[in-house]
Amino acid sequence: MKPVAIFRASPTEGPGYFATYLERRSIAWQLVSLEANARVPRDARAYAGLVFMGGPMSVNDDLPWIAPAAELIRDALRKDVPVLGHCLGGQLMSKALGGTVRANPVKEIGWGEVQVADNEVAREWLGKLQSFVSFHWHGETFTIPPGATRVMENAHCPNQAFALGKHFGMQCHVEMSEDLVRSWLASGNDEIVAARSSPAVQPPEEITRELAPRLGALNEVANRIYDRWVEGLSKS
């Protein structure tokens, strides 16, 4: 089977737990470092699946990789190659598929509950799970693109995830590991201080409280989503 391509937009926002998940299942993956000017492939069929990670930029920014990455996502849909997006990656998927990305009413940084939508598509991806506590770090949000279904939501951001066939875009971060959390806190403390008036922004000491069990529970939710997603990987 061809490898899964993981597109990284920032050196601090790698695949985290998702890489661990793939390696445990002996699924090969290849990192495409967009922040280092790696070329965006034109043919989605070069990979078994495409995964887009987060980043501090906006998909509305004039960056050289955004337009070709959006076209690659559209190519993947045409060729039935599954796409998975985390935060910025989910926003890029939405924009590529006809949605829009704009400022969220408040910033979300830290741990917060997410509700699973009451529809059949959500149950296909998350089973009987009704809610869970996820990690968040975003100031923008996407709309649900045409033809897709909202599958997750919360009080601060109504569109936390959408599904379109074998493709899945998220606003929240289910890929978190301890290294990622601590790295983001080290580099993003000024952002936390500037946004501390937001009801959805937590101080670092709250974010790191009971970190191991919180991450363990989040990994279990990620397993559900990733299990469903890898079912669609292209085998040829």
Which of 87, 136, 140, 172 is flagged as catalytic? 87
Nearest CA-CA partner of 159 in 180, 177, 138 = 138
Q: φ and ψ at 112, to 5 degrees?
A: -160, 150
Q: Is 175 a catalytic residue?
A: yes
Residue 2, by phi and psi: left (phi above 0), alpha (psi -120 to 50) or beta?
beta
Q: φ and ψ at 129, to 5 degrees?
A: -60, 130
Residue 162 three-state SS: strand
Question: Are the C-beta atoms of 41 and 72 separated by less than 8 Å?
Answer: yes
Other Cβ atoms within 10 Å of 58 Cβ, number: 17
Which of 86, 136, 167, 173 is flagged as catalytic? 173
Question: Are the C-beta atoms of 28 and 15 separated by less than 8 Å?
Answer: no
- In angstroms, the Cα distances linking 186 to 28, 108, 190 are 30, 17, 9
Q: Determine the longest span between alpha carbons in the chain, in angstroms.
A: 50
CB-facing half-sphere around the CA of 57: CA atoms within 13 A: 18
Which of 13, 108, 140, 175 is flagged as catalytic? 175
Q: φ and ψ at 63, to 5 degrees?
A: -105, 145
Task: Provide the annotated active-site residues.
Answer: 87, 173, 175
